[in-house]
Amino acid sequence: MTDIEHFKHDVVVIGAGGAGLRAAIESREQGKNTAVISKSLLGKAHTVMAEGGIAASMGNVNSKDNWQVHFCDTMRGGKFLSHYRMAELHAKEAPARVWELESWGALFDRTAEGKISQRNFGGHEYPRLAHVGDRTGLELIRTLQQKIVGLQQEDKKISDDYESRLRVFAECTITDILLAGEGENRRVAGAFGYRRDSGKFVLFEAPTVIIATGGIGRSFKVSSNSWEYTGDGHALALRSGGTLVNMEFIQFHPTGMVWPPSVKGLLVTESVRGDGGVLTNSEDRRFMFDYIPDVFKDQYAKTEEEADGWYTDPENNKRPPELLPRDEVSRSIMAEVKAGRGSPHGGVFLDVSKRLSAETIKEKLPSMWHQFKELADVDITEESMEVGPTCHYVMGGVEVDSDSAAAVGVPGLFCAGEAAGGLHGSNRLGGNSLSDLLVFGRRAGMGAVEYLNEMDEAGAIRPSVRQQDVNAAVEAALAPFNQVEGENPYTVQQDLQDVMADLVGIIRTGDEMRSALDRLAEMRVRVANVAVMGGREYNPGWHLALDLHHQMLVSECVAKSALAREESRGGHTRNDFQGMDPNWRMVNLICRLSKDQVDIAKQDLPWMSEELISLFAVSELSKYMTEVELNQLRVPEGAV
Amino acid sequence: MGLKRNFRVWRGNSEGEGALKDYEVDVLEGEVVLDVIFRIQATQATDLAVRWNCKAGKCGSCSVEINGKPTLMCMTRMNTFEENETITVTPLRTFPVTRDLVTDVSFNYAKAREVPAFTPPVGLEPGDYRMSQEDVSRSQEFRKCIECFLCQDTCHVIRDHEENKTNFAGPRVLMRVAELEMHPLDTLDRTRMAQEELGLGYCNITKCCTESCPEHIQITDNALIPLKERVVDVKYDPVKWLGNKIRVRSSND
């Protein structure tokens, strides 16, 4: 055990994307000694891939915008399954989080008056996305990274040590959250992991841990997600006694590249549609007009003329159906392909060349131009792109308290960003992810600080890790080296991706999901037995062997939740239960681990406050709610 | 499966021991070098150390040297090589090898930490920032940087002279200085430190950095040369020197 490096911090943040960095900034600014653990180098996290922008109702382009409109759009986008309080906090606080970035050095694109420019995006009533061309995620992560450097520079002046209060552990993976106490007294005591470069183990003693590990998309075959997205935080929370909510809701982004195979799944930003791009099938028909669902009939254009008019005159025209929420567009593309009206490589066509000048395309969508030119030999200023759905985001995640981001059931554990569930309901709107990271990253930092302050004020002794837990963590981490005849971890991962994509993918049925669960049960054994070659220094095979345990557990949660929810809503579409069922709208599915098995339980969705519910017309709510719920609404209305 | 191709990949450790190892591997239509490296990893060498993230040219993680040229594996298409060409993949030469294709790039992070952070005017509240697109465009070009460190790797000041690493921060870091200097609302003057502490004078504008940049940022023309001009201005124009002093002082009050 002598080769375990040992660190003590007030707060340990797992993950160095937007949420993790924002959380770390908060806890350090409030005086807590903070560590940030990053699987990759600093500044490489998946946030960097976000293209379109950050949703925040600053009203710079259309002054009618405000937090209430943003709130309503978010609720609609999530098909009224979002946790109301989270959606409210998110909409209210997003503008301040964007302006704060600017004060840390971010350079957003500008309006003519010199304010932050805002662009249109699917499901957002007004132009709302602060952006930098189509590389907004890069701007966000670089700004946070540089803010961290700024804070370290301040600390250096005082202590002559850059890392005295805020330390980044790059290329370091956490495999276990360590707890202290039993029953009621059980709480977070630290975290255990390894440095990817040296393979050496690290032990963090800390009374608070913030999970900001992002998503789970690596468990699907066609995905826009990087190797890091193995659901580590989801699995860590489960194994610490936490719960996951809404895991059946997976967002398949409608526009991923489909050709060549090596880039299949690579994201094509929604800004292409926000800026005028249209979707057509092999018959050159703008098919999205055929797929406007009833609940959105009043908000979208019925004719091409009206849709085209919207770009220049949004006051007098309705928005084009290409800008429906992502789940609707993905399903429509699937339906077109299935009906034999797809593009040569199994997608549909997305064209911006007939709508914008080559110059404008290169200015507004520079990295898309670059990406297609260099990877597919397609010049998007002259030709259309071939696109199809790609696994992009998980709406579900760790169940948290809305205000403090505290994980339900595990004192000292907090969670923010994609790893947390609730905000996006059954479907996330584009642009709401980056704002989520900032709003709830900060709140998780605040939550951890408050927890620590209460602990210190009460004079409580900080929990200490148990040696036997550390021993067990070491043993588990080294297990793949002791397997003699186990499988190659890459093969097992590929099989897992196939099972999830084929049987728990965009369109689901009960029989397929039951067979997925059988396959997953077999794979559990295979995952436990994978063998790795080589040593501990920067060994990706070993890293994957350990990540696979997280992927396995999270995939089971997805499959079990998806099988349990007998309706179609947002990022969960069932062939055997088509359409939304208002009774299911009131239900959250909760996963917890019990004797190493995933248990699913139904839980009531929190009820919206009167102030918030009054923002919607009853006629709109009636499309989503049960008669019983609507009667409850009508009573106070009649009384007034 | 597709065509068999020959790859030579550096396998080595942090002690400096290692050798090029040959792999015969299938290559499919439309693939990039990183796809092929993945296939070697999945089928022949599960412990082959590779650093990567986005596989889309956006994160700057998979920097290596292919046939001696510093580049990103995810953006190098296989059809840019001759069909019978052996493709040699080696780690970045300027930085110490961690293992195989992965190098220790902490030098770049350490140097970046020496550049004082963005310093807005005192009293300017978040939300009240006003800047024109024209004014932000210059710094925005430099903020396209994905920190792949190919410019750092290719810059001969440190590529061929380990001893210069103490005094020279490299093009990426100097471009960061230029970015802050051109930021419409930054109040600090970093031109002197660029020259005296970050080694701007070592740069003799051979433009190797610009040529290596996968984001096509005009590092030399738009960042380094203007920064050098500012240094000259500050150094030799007493009025400007005094003016800068006064400006900096007043904004720090």
- ipTM of the prediction: 0.93
pLDDT for residue A480 is more than 90: yes
The whole-chain average pLDDT of chain B stands at 93
- pLDDT band for position A275 (50/70/90)? confident
Domain residue limits at A372: 251-392
A55 to chain B, closest Cα gap in Å: 15
Give the count of beta carbons closer than 10 Å to the beta carbon of residue A438: 28
Which of A392, A421, A442 is the C-terminal boundary of a domain?
A392
Residues A212, A219 contacting (CB under 8 angstroms): no
A237 and A295 in a common domain: no
Tally the residues of chain B.
Answer: 253
Looking at the partner chain, which of A95, A103, A162 has a beta carbon nearest the beta carbon of B113?
Answer: A162
Q: What pLDDT was estimated at residue B58?
A: 93
Which residues of chain A make contact with B180, given a CB cutoff of 8 A? Answer: 105
A412 and A386 in a common domain: no
Mean pLDDT value across residues B208-228 = 97
pLDDT for residue B229 is more than 90: yes
- pLDDT band for position B239 (50/70/90)? low
Q: What pLDDT was estimated at residue B173?
A: 98
A402 and A385 in a common domain: no
Looking at the partner chain, which of A227, A267, A488 has a beta carbon nearest the beta carbon of B46?
Answer: A488
Find the closest chain B residue to A132 by CA distance. B140
CB–CB of A107 and B113 under 8 A?
A: no
A537 inside domain: no
CB–CB of B59 and A153 under 8 A?
A: no
A453 and A371 in a common domain: no
Mean pLDDT value across residues A146-168 = 98
Q: What pLDDT was estimated at residue A633?
A: 79
A136 and A195 in a common domain: yes
A228 and A117 in a common domain: yes
The whole-chain average pLDDT of chain A stands at 95
Which of A341, A370, A392 is the C-terminal boundary of a domain?
A392
Report percent pLDDT > 90 for chain A: 89
Q: Mind listing the pLDDT tens digit for each residue in A183-214?
A: 889 999 999 999 999 999 999 999 999 999 99
Choice among A203-212, A288-297, A361-370 with the minimum mean pLDDT: A361-370
Peptide bond into A260 cis (omega under 30): yes
A191 and A219 in a common domain: yes
Chain B CB within 8 Å of residue A363 CB: no
Give the neighbor-by-neighbor strand order of the sheet with A129-130.
A54-55, A129-130, A118-119
Mean pLDDT value across residues A1-23 = 93
Q: How far apart are CA A589 and CA A260, in angstroms?
A: 38
Highest-pLDDT range among A266-275, A302-311, B105-114? B105-114
CATH number, domain with residue A291: 3.90.700.10
Find the closest chain A residue to B123 by CA distance. A103
A145 and A231 in a common domain: yes
pLDDT for residue B245 is more than 80: no
Looking at the partner chain, which of A45, A261, A540 has a beta carbon nearest the beta carbon of B47?
Answer: A540
A186 and A320 in a common domain: no
Which residues of chain B make contact with A133, given a CB cutoff of 8 A? Answer: 140
pLDDT for residue A41 is more than 60: yes
pLDDT for residue B151 is more than 50: yes
pLDDT for residue A636 is more than 60: no
A493 inside domain: no
- pLDDT band for position B3 (50/70/90)? confident
Looking at the partner chain, which of A146, A228, A537 has a beta carbon nearest the beta carbon of B118?
Answer: A146
CB–CB of B54 and A114 under 8 A?
A: no
Tokens 């021991």 sit at which residue?
B17
Q: What pLDDT was estimated at residue A367?
A: 85
Domain count, chain A: 2
Mean pLDDT value across residues A626-637 = 77
CB–CB of A537 and B120 under 8 A?
A: no
Which residues of chain A make contact with B43, given a CB cutoff of 8 A? Answer: 490
Q: Mind listing the pLDDT tens digit for each residue in A498-527?
A: 999 999 999 999 999 999 999 999 999 999
Q: Mind listing the pLDDT tens digit for each residue in A426-469?
A: 999 999 999 999 999 999 999 999 999 999 999 999 999 999 99
Mean pLDDT value across residues B25-30 = 93
Q: What pLDDT was estimated at residue B36?
A: 97
Terminal alpha carbon distance of chain A? 70
Q: What pLDDT was estimated at residue B233?
A: 83
Mean pLDDT value across residues B92-114 = 98
pLDDT for residue A1 is more than 90: no
Q: What pLDDT was estimated at residue B234?
A: 73
Q: What pLDDT was estimated at residue A632?
A: 82
Mean pLDDT value across residues B3-12 = 96
A131 and A207 in a common domain: yes
Which residues of chain A make contact with B35, given a CB cutoff of 8 A? Answer: 262
Q: SS in 3 state form for A212-241?
A: CCCCCHHHCCCECCCCCCCCHHHHHHHHCC
Residues A146, B117 contacting (CB under 8 angstroms): yes
In a mutational test of the B interface, the residue from A116, A138, A156, A487 whose CB has the highest number of chain B CBs within 10 Å is A138
A258 and A240 in a common domain: no
Both structure tokens of B46: 């599960």
Mean pLDDT value across residues A314-323 = 93
Tell me which residues of A are annotated as active site.
253, 273
Q: How far apart are CA B162 and CA B166, in angstroms?
A: 8
A235 inside domain: yes
A602 inside domain: no
Question: Considering only residues 136 to 195 of chain A, which have any Cβ-Cβ distance to chain B shorter than 8 Å?
Answer: 138-139, 142, 146-147, 149-150, 152-153, 162, 170
Q: SS in 3 state form for B105-169?
A: CHHHHHHHCCCCCCCCCCCCCCCCCCCCHHHHHHHHHHHCCCCCCHHHHHCHHHHCCHHHHHCCC
CB–CB of B58 and A49 under 8 A?
A: yes
Which residues of chain A make contact with B129, given a CB cutoff of 8 A? Answer: 99, 102-103
B242 to chain A, closest Cα gap in Å: 26
CB–CB of A103 and B120 under 8 A?
A: yes
pLDDT for residue B243 is more than 80: no
Q: What pLDDT was estimated at residue A637?
A: 47
pLDDT for residue B253 is more than 80: no
A439 to chain B, closest Cα gap in Å: 16
Q: What are the distances in angstroms from CA B84 to CA A125, A368, B6, B24?
A: 55, 32, 8, 12
Report percent pLDDT > 70 for chain A: 99
A360 inside domain: yes
Q: What pLDDT was estimated at residue B240?
A: 62
Q: What pLDDT was estimated at residue A383?
A: 94
Chain B CB within 8 Å of residue A31 CB: no
Which of A355, A371, A392 is the C-terminal boundary of a domain?
A392
Q: How far apart are CA A228 and CA A45, in angstroms?
A: 8
CB–CB of A259 and B113 under 8 A?
A: no
**Domains in chain B, start-ordered, CATH in brackets?**
3-103 (3.10.20.30), 106-252 (1.10.1060.10)
pLDDT for residue B142 is more than 70: yes
A222 inside domain: yes
Q: Mind listing the pLDDT tens digit for each residue in B166-185?
A: 999 999 999 999 999 999 99
DSSP string, A102-154: HHTT----B-TTSSB-EE--TT-SS--EE-STT-HHHHHHHHHHHHHHHHHHH
- pLDDT band for position B250 (50/70/90)? very low
A640 inside domain: no
Q: Phi, psi at residue A597, to the nearest 5°?
A: -115, 145
Choice among A46-50, A110-114, A606-610 with the minimum mean pLDDT: A606-610
Which residues of chain A make contact with B14, given a CB cutoff of 8 A? Answer: 537
CB–CB of A107 and B104 under 8 A?
A: no
